[in-house]
Amino acid sequence: MADLSLVQVGKRYGDRTIIEGLDLHVQSGEMVCLLGPSGSGKTTILRMIGGFINSNEGQIIIDGLPVTNVPPERRPTSMVFQQYALWPNMTVYQNIAFGLKLRRLSKREISQRVAEVLQMVDLRGLEKYYPAQLSGGQQQRVALARALVLTPKVLLLDEPLSNLDAQLRHKVREEIREIQQRLHITTIFVTHDQDEAMSVSDRVAVLSEGHIEQFDTPDNLYLHPETNFVARFIGSMNVFRGRIRNGFVYAESSEHNEPVPCEHSNATSTTPVDLAVRPEDILITNDIGATARVLRRLPRGHYAEIVLETSLGTLRAFVPNQLSIGEIVKFRFGRALVYQGGRLVKEEANMAQRVAQEGATI
């Protein structure tokens, strides 16, 4: 068990800044996902924690001790790489035992620890198999066992499921989570799959271009995305420019001025802002509401995703399954999030103040 801190960590390649002023504090026994688009710096951060690349600035602290200048083999971390490479000419047993041999443990101790870890990842009986004789999911579990057998204080997983098909991904990610919770091992899990991040982690750090946009629980990321980037990146979201006043949303351009009623959002602005509405917050109504036409309908089993043509542009909504293409419906918003300068404006007062500061009228 150990906590991990990155303090003002920076990484440059030549004159290109990849990571800048990164602060991240992970609690002991926590599973944290680094989630972000390709090239956002996830692998770079993980490799700096593991010591495989050096940071240019800042400190990395594990369990209270700075490890910034400690080589990877002497850090209390072990890493499963993005392209997990098992040694093809070694059996499962030999693959897992290798790291322990380097540490010069006795044969007896090695065999005991390999047996323990094989049981943990549910691979008992496959000791003598070679990687080519295993399924993708089994190979992945060997890679995990190879990291776990070293009893690291911090486990680093770089897209450990990327080579698996969707069904197996679900299964193995749940197994990893179960093992992580059972061992209470501090874990950093890198992925660019938000569904994966949201379903296995205690907290998620959403990365964009080498900085953290928001570090929060999955629920908070979904319900209170603090930046425009997170709002667009996590889950499905309708984002559009508009004005919001006295419980109504208006389109930015004045030709489309049919207001859309909006509950639970008492912000007010006469200047256009970025508004974000989740598909499940678009409510089809029988009474008061703005007009929309159903453009497309995508059945999703117990509900349907529909695309609506509205005065605010095309919007996606999740609805019970009974609407048909071409139908004219009425709708309102259950909840709209308001962004200004890319950041969530939480309250009316806050909003009014900001707009006033920027010299606009309310």
Ligand X SMILES: Nc1ncnc2c1ncn2[C@@H]1O[C@H](COP(=O)(O)OP(=O)(O)OP(=O)(O)O)[C@@H](O)[C@H]1O
Residues that bind Mg ion (CB under 5 A): 42-43
13 binds, among Mg ion, ligand X, none (CB under 5 to 8 A by kind): ligand X
CA distance 66 to 293: 60
Nearer to Mg ion, 42 or 278 (CB): 42
**Interface with ligand X, residue 9, by CB under 6 A:** no
Q: At closest approach, how far in Å is the CB of 162 from ligand X?
A: 9
In the complex, the smallest distance separating the C-beta of residue 212 from ligand X, rounded to whole angstroms, is 13
String marking each residue 144-183 x if it binds ligand X according to CB under 6 A? ----------------------------------------
229 and 206 in contact (C-beta within 8 Å)? yes
**Binding-site size, ligand X (CB under 6 A):** 11
Give the one entry of ligand X, Mg ion, none that residue 232 binds, where binding means its C-beta sits below a cut-off of 5 to 8 angstroms depending on kind.
none
Question: Is position 18 an interface residue for ligand X (rule: CB under 6 A)?
Answer: yes
Block residue for tokens 């951060």 = 45
Q: Which of 344, 220, 331 is nearest to 279 (CA)?
A: 331
CA pair distance 140, 318, nearest whole angstrom = 36
Applying CB under 6 A, does 83 fall inside the site for ligand X? no
Starting at the earlier edge strand, list the strands of the sheet with 154-158: 77-80, 154-158, 186-191, 31-35, 203-208, 211-216
Distance (Å, rounded) from C-alpha 215 to C-alpha 223?
13
Is residue 55 close enough to count as binding ligand X by CB under 6 A?
Answer: no
Q: Which of residues 180-199 bind ligand X (CB under 6 A)?
A: 192
Among 1, 8, 12, 13, binds ligand X (CB under 6 A): 13
Mark the segment that binds ligand X (CB under 6 A) among 32-40, 251-259, 268-276, 300-308: 32-40
Q: Report the residue number, 4 or 282, with the smaller CB distance to ligand X.
A: 4
Looking at 188-293, list the stretches that DSSP marks H as alpha helix, in order from N- to C-terminal side: 194-200, 218-223, 228-233
Q: Which of Mg ion, ligand X, none is residue 36 near (CB under 5 to 8 Å by kind)? A: ligand X
> Please, which residue, 63 or 209, has the CB nearer to ligand X?
209
Q: Largest alpha-carbon pair distance within the chain?
A: 80
Side-chain-side CA neighbours of 103 within 13 Å: the count stands at 14
| DSSP 8-state class, residue 121 | T
Q: Which is nearer to ligand X, 81 or 248 (CB)?
A: 81
- Residue-wise over 304-316: b if at least 16 C-beta within 10 A, else e? bebbbebbbeebb
Q: Which does 44 bind (CB under 5 to 8 A by kind): ligand X, Mg ion, none?
A: ligand X
Q: Pairing relation of β-strands 238-245 and 328-333?
A: unpaired
Binding site for ligand X (CB under 6 A): 13, 18, 36, 38-44, 192
